[in-house]
Structure formats: C-alpha cells, structure tokens
Amino acid sequence: MPNKLIIGTETEFGIMSRKIDGYDPVTSSLFTINHLRPFSALRILWDYENEDPLVDARGFVVDGEKERPTQDENLNLNKPLENGGRLYVDGAHPEYSTPECTNPRDVVIYEKAGEALMHLCLENANRLRKEEEKIFLYKNNTDGKGNSYGYHENYLMLRATQFEKIVQSLTPFLVTRQIFAGSGKVGTDNKADPAAFQISQRADFFETLIDLNTMAKRPIINTRDEPHADPKQFRRLHIIVGDANMAELSTYLKVGTTALILQMIDNEHFITGLELDNPLQAIKAISRDLTLKKGIKLANGKEYTPVEIQRAYLEEAYKYFGSMERDPVAFEIMDHWQEILNRLEKNPNELSRKIDWLIKYDLINNYREKKGFDWDNPKLAMMDLQYHDLNPEKGFYYTLLKDGYIDTMVSPGLVLLAKDSPPRDTRAYFRGMCIKKFPKEVYATSWSSVLFDIGNFTIKRVPLLHPLKGTEALVGNVFNRSETAEDLLRNLAA
C-alpha cells in the first residue's frame, strides 16, 4: 500500500479597511485574531523550537533570522485552536492553518470552518471599531495593486523520496491543475501580459522554477524543508503555487489530486514524458486561455493542451491505484477528476456551479454584458474582490450559495462541528483535545508537540513526531480516564 499522506493548508486572508490614511494591516490583523472569543482569552504559546524555514530541501541552510517572538508577542500572534488548527498573524495578514487531515473532504470541511472562525473574529472586532475603521476580510490572493498573499498546501512525504524526482514528476501537474483549481481573476498583476480574465489569481506572480522564497521570486516548486515530524522519516512538501478557493469542489480536487500524485511519487511510480519546455511561461499562458484548447510545448517538442496533460496524470493514477487493493478515497478523487476533465474538454460552461473560476466568470461576464462594460471597467474588479468577501451578507460566493447557484460537497453541520472539534484520525486529535479539555495546563503547542505546565516548576513535553499517532483510536480512552492534565500525563506514561 502507498504511504498515507497527511494534508493541511494555510490561508493568508486579504485584509482591508475603510480607513486609508494611517491604516496599518499588521495592527488590524492582530486586532482581528485576538477577538476570536472565547479562544482569545486563552494564554497558550506557539512552540517555535522545531521550526526553521531557512532549511532548503536541496541540502543547505540559507542566511537569515529565525522567528523568535517574546512571550507577549507570541501570545498576541498565535491562537492554537480546539480543532487542532492554528490562527495567527503572518507578516501583514491574518492566517489560518487547518489541522492535519487524511483526505480531501476533511480539508474542505476544515477550510470552511476556518472561514467561519475568521468571520467570527471579524464580527467581534468590528463591534469595537468606528464605522470608518471597519475591517474587511477576503479569501483571495491579490489586492489588485500588484501584491499577492499566499495559500499554501502541505503534504507529508517520505524522506527517502528524492527531491529531484518530485520536481520532475510534479511540475507539469502543478502548472496545469489550475484549470480546475484556479479561483479566477479580472485583469492582470505584476506587470504581466494583459488579459481580460484569467483562470488563476496566482499565475502572474511566479518568477522561478525552484527556490526557498515565498514572498519574492516566488517559485513553482518551493524547497522549504521543515517537516514538523520525524525528520529522518518524513519531509513536508510545501506547495505555494495554488489559489485560495471558495468553491468546495475546487479545494477538494486541488488537494485530492495532488495527494494522489505524491503518493505515486513516494512509491516510485514516477510520471515522465510530460516535462514542460518553459513552465513559467506555461503557467501564465494557461491562465489566459479560457478555451483550454491551446497547446503547451513540452520539452520533447510535442504540444499538449492542459486538459490532455491532466488526463495523462489521471490515466497513470487509475493504472497505479487500480493495481492494488481498492482505496475508496482514491477512486472517489479520480472519478471526480475524470468527470471534471471531461466537462472542461467538452464544454467548460457546464461547470459554472462547481469550480471557482467558472462560477466567477459566469457571474461577472453576465453582469458585464448586461451593462455593456468593457473588461477594464473598475466595477468588474470590485465584483471579483467581492466574490471572496468573508462576510456572508456581502460576499458574492455566499450569496450565490444561499440562492442555490453553487453545488457543495460537505454539510454545514460538519463545518459547524469542525470549528471546535479536531479530526479523529491524526495527531491533531491529541492537540485539539488537550486544548479543549485542559486549556489552563497547556503551556504551548506546535505541530509536533504539546507542552504542559502542571504547576511543579517544570514543563512537560509530549512529542507528536508521527502524524498518525495521537488519534482518537489510540488515545481516546486515555482522555476519558483523565480528569486532570496530571492524570493525562501519568496515563500516557503507563
């Protein structure tokens, strides 16, 4: 059986205010996340000990300063959550990380829970601000002024897998998956070639193939080597090339298909013969081709459309996963993948209820034609932004959803539950349950540990170096038998 991948995502939210003069996005971001009641009252640190974003997967460490905030700064910057995730401020943006998940449906659920938590922060924060200082949050990737903020995916892989093989097999897939994972964009950014409407918000911002940076000279393949797990056994592949999605199917396919490809690579089923002649040129060209019919030149001189490249990956996935005991999660992903590719090839407009860029295009283009606007009309750019507004009363995505114009995959009840309940089948269960049951005794937490202060002048660290340890199946009974944090530590040691 293939190595079971652990998936998680990080979303940096766009933040704006009606106040222009003197507006400080950092202060506004901190103000926002510190109004997630009742979590905002908890004093739990984030443990930075095992975090080092300066280690490169190619075998070296770059110069730079590690983030080591003071204790007061740490408490202000970080909100570890009962659902096993994390709310924090990164740079000038509020950011939400999902807990570790074992399947793409759970990623969708916990991303939607993150949207709900961020909106709760927003409501609480805005009650304390003057009308002219109200804050707005957007789940998108660009402010329309040449600045982009990230959406990052994380996949646990085997340390033994050669990084060069990952780059070779994965690059054509990442460049072309925007045809179902793009969130759509009016116009262009970053001094890129002009376009009326694009498939991807992020495509214009990638300037190199491989690098450690995430904010400048952004690479298609990021080389950060920060496993958040046993470094001898695992690596964490940090993917920064994707758009932040509102549509559930776009998120599901984005992380689900990528997880399948990485499982194949981890198990030495490499995909070759699809290497692109110029990946940086291709990612931008695909974003501008709404017909999906233009060929992309491969390194071998052939030309394939992005649908054909994705179909080649799908065929390899069916071949690989069909050769072993049936995995219902893998086959569900592949079946959705096949259906979407068929529709994209035949008539993309059939997906105007299902994937972001086509939902958005249908909405904005219908309005544009009704009003007789050209694509450079500023009202269309505002509609683009409004699609991603986290306020359910104002965001166009939520309005379309409420009015029955968007298809969903997960139930609102599961999203509501996920706001304060962790996944049961990863170490996030242990982390989240510790915060939920013993909030005063949890001194600090991270992805790979929970630290307890039980009042005897020592800090007890419980390591979580394997993402599939700490599940409900393994420690649920321990929590049931533990009335106090001291009981928990004693029962874990027994």
Q: Residue 309 domain-assigned?
A: yes
Instruction: Tell me which residue range forms the domain holding 195.
Output: 7-415
Whether residues 326 and 374 fall in one domain? yes
- What per-residue confidence (pLDDT) applies to 1? 37
Whether residues 432 and 325 fall in one domain? no
Q: Residue 365 domain-assigned?
A: yes
- pTM reported for the whole predicted model: 0.96
| Domains identified in the chain, total number | 2
Cα–Cα dist 438/491, whole Å: 15
Whether residues 377 and 434 fall in one domain? no
Cα–Cα dist 359/119, whole Å: 22
Residue at a domain's end among 415, 442, 464: 415
Whether residues 409 and 429 fall in one domain? no
Q: Which residues does the annotation mark as catalytic?
A: 90
Whether residues 209 and 331 fall in one domain? yes
Whether residues 404 and 442 fall in one domain? no
Whether residues 150 and 245 fall in one domain? yes
Q: Residue 1 domain-assigned?
A: no
Residues 6+ apart with CB under 8 A from 21: none
- What per-residue confidence (pLDDT) applies to 245? 98
Q: Residue 2 domain-assigned?
A: no
Whether residues 460 and 355 fall in one domain? no
Residue 242 sits in a domain of what CATH number?
Answer: 3.30.590
CB atoms within 10 A of CB 58: 13
Closest CA to 82 of 416, 413, 431, 425: 431
Cα–Cα dist 452/466, whole Å: 19
- pLDDT tens per residue across all 494 residues of the chain: 345 779 999 999 999 998 877 789 999 999 999 999 776 668 999 999 878 777 778 876 777 767 789 999 999 999 999 999 999 998 899 999 999 999 999 999 999 999 999 999 999 999 999 988 999 999 999 988 888 998 999 999 999 999 999 999 999 999 999 999 999 999 998 788 899 999 999 999 999 999 887 777 899 999 989 999 999 999 999 999 999 999 999 999 999 999 999 999 999 999 999 999 999 999 999 999 999 999 999 999 999 999 999 999 999 999 999 999 999 999 999 999 999 999 999 999 999 999 999 999 999 999 999 999 999 999 999 999 999 999 999 999 999 999 999 999 999 999 999 999 999 999 999 999 999 999 999 999 999 999 999 988 889 999 999 999 999 999 999 999 999 999 999 999 98
Which amino acid appears at position 222 of this protein? N
- What per-residue confidence (pLDDT) applies to 248? 98
Beta-sheet pairing, 86-90 with 78-80: antiparallel
- What per-residue confidence (pLDDT) applies to 3? 57
Residue at a domain's end among 415, 442, 462: 415
Residue at a domain's end among 415, 448, 477: 415
- What per-residue confidence (pLDDT) applies to 383? 97
Cα–Cα dist 73/75, whole Å: 5
- What per-residue confidence (pLDDT) applies to 40? 62
- What per-residue confidence (pLDDT) applies to 60? 67
